[in-house]
A and B are shown apart, each in its own frame.
Chain A
């Protein structure tokens, strides 16, 4: 049980820089999720913490102690590898016993070992597989065994690399709940790597969003969800993805290409040539007779035509053509049909404004704030 701190953590593979100086402070007992697409450097981050990357720069502090030059086996961290890395010549039980037998985690009698392994494997639902070899397991079972090899042992930090990626959807949901409980009980500092935003939101005390070897944003799930640091973060969370509409800036107003919507910008974005407006599909609602658009200008409204309706179980995903741009929204209303003309409405505060410095063509402009009512600035 220890805090974990990364100071300017860097890593390179040949000429390619995998990590560009990460800084993060993770509190004792915290469940920290690193979210990012593949190739962002998630696994490398974990391996640097574990001391498995030769030539890593910067520092890793565990429990306040600099781990530079400390061998992996003396760091007292446990890691579940995405490749499972189960010992092929050992059974599930022997795989799980391996850390307890190394002698570095205190002395365990065979009975203590058996009890601990039994406990963990029951939680993971693999207690009937103890005598099997890894090659005789399904990918999901292997993944749970790899997770078990971590959870079975006391450690200062748990490092979990996509530990649920190979489970089917139902089991993943169940395991997600189970994991939260397990880690809560064990109260072990955990760094959890995933590309699945739902896992990140559900599990993380805090989330760090990683892109191309840089931590773009660190914050609680609510912070990351409600005030994404930039367009990349906004798009990383949520399904369907956040709508990003390009807009031209003129005298503090931003008008989307095609003129479908106009918003007033916060002060910080006035200097930009263009901005991106971020609209989460579920923040948009369809204004109809029963829920008319707010006449007082407290909402942004856009008129468009439904071009595609896709069923997602109870709700439907709509592609709406708004002045030549496609805007995605989700509705529970079963009456909406393709070809309908609709009015989309969204609270001003839910319209995220992303703007780079003038002339900066960055594909991931930072968030500068929410849109303001058009009338308010006139």
Chain B
């Protein structure tokens, strides 16, 4: 075995040579991540500026019909908080977010469990699971709008409801737009939970299988605690997004009839864009933002606890 061939001499100015070495001071090394983040920070600033401006509008009297914006302090906020129309929007939004999230979570977990246990049929169907999720919600709204149509819509025809049943009447509209939400977003919960199920460790289940534990017991005592973090991630995304729902609701009902589906974002849209009362719209958004912010803080804290507990139970 020959290992004697000498490598060619290095020609560079390595430290072994006599050339000066280049030094990078510690503070410049520490600066590197900041330099890499500069473009992102600029974009953040560019987005935070209108955001702050929007918050500021809530303290002005600013509308297309008002020639010069006037600072009015908390008057918009107190006015809005005393306005039954606003509270009707809050009620609609809360009902929508809670009900849609609950239904989607239950259905999504159920579908994930079924797909997890399923054989060949499930394997094939699984590929199609996310199709509704990938279609733009507004287009989903358009499709369902066509299907909901009392005269020629396919739903009334197939379900034998005749041509007088109105899916989008004042007392049904909210539930109908929720149905569309469930159609779009249940797969979101299902794919997340399914990924969680597949990442579960196998040993605890085999152990309890040997012990003769029933399926339900395994689900409740073993699977559910370990699944909580995944379910919670899905719930957080769904709930936060439902609070600011707009697209398919707007295209289906535009907030009507009679405010039955006037969620906070649709209310803000009507105030700001339809009526060009920027201050009133911004006040809606500021209040919604506060709700979103508080909810997010709470849910993320819950998620953190669940993740720690799941990690503990896996050990």
Chain A contacts to B: CB under 8 angstroms:
1-2, 54-55, 62-63, 65, 67-71, 74-76, 103-108, 112, 115-116, 119-120, 122-123, 153-154, 156, 181-182, 185-186
Contacts and interface: CB of A to CB of B under 8 A. Distances in A.
Contacts of B15: 2, 62-63, 65, 67, 70, 74-76, 156
Tell me if B's interface is mostly helix, strand, loop or mixed.
Answer: loop
Given A63-B15, A105-B12, A106-B12, 6 more contacts: A65-B21, A67-B15, A112-B7, A123-B1, A154-B10, A156-B15
A291 B292 CA distance: 88
Given A63-B15, A68-B23, A70-B21, A106 B10 contact: yes
B11 A107 contact: yes
A119 B12 contact: no
A120 B24 CA distance: 34
B5 A70 contact: no
A44 to B, nearest CB: 18
A106 B8 contact: yes
Interface residues of B, number: 22
A84 to B, nearest CB: 22
Interface in B17-32: 21-26, 29-30
B3 interface: yes
Contacts of B12: 103-106
Nearest to B7: A154
B152 to A, nearest CB: 57
Most chain B CB neighbours (cut-off 10 Å) among A69, A71, A75: A69
B14 interface: yes
A76 B1 CA distance: 27
A71 B24 contact: yes
4 pairs of A and B residues whose beta carbons are closest in the complex: A69-B23, A76-B14, A106-B11, A106-B10
A71 B14 CA distance: 12
B22 A71 contact: yes
Contacts of B7: 105-106, 112, 116, 153-154
B21 A108 contact: no
Nearest to B9: A106
Contacts of B23: 68-70
Contacts of B22: 70-71, 74
29 contacts: A1-B16, A2-B15, A55-B26, A62-B16, A63-B15, A68-B23, A69-B24, A70-B23, A70-B24, A71-B24, A74-B14, A74-B15, A76-B14, A104-B12, A105-B7, A105-B10, A106-B12, A107-B8, A107-B11, A112-B7, A115-B5, A116-B5, A116-B7, A119-B3, A122-B1, A154-B9, A156-B15, A156-B16, A182-B3
Interface of B: 1-5, 7-12, 14-16, 21-26, 29-30
Nearest to B4: A185
Nearest to B6: A154
Contacts of A108: 8
A344 to B, nearest CB: 45
Nearest to B32: A54
A176 B220 CA distance: 55
Nearest to B13: A74
Contacts of A106: 7-12
A156 B15 CA distance: 8
A182 B5 CA distance: 12
A174 to B, nearest CB: 12
Contacts of A71: 22, 24
A1 B7 CA distance: 13
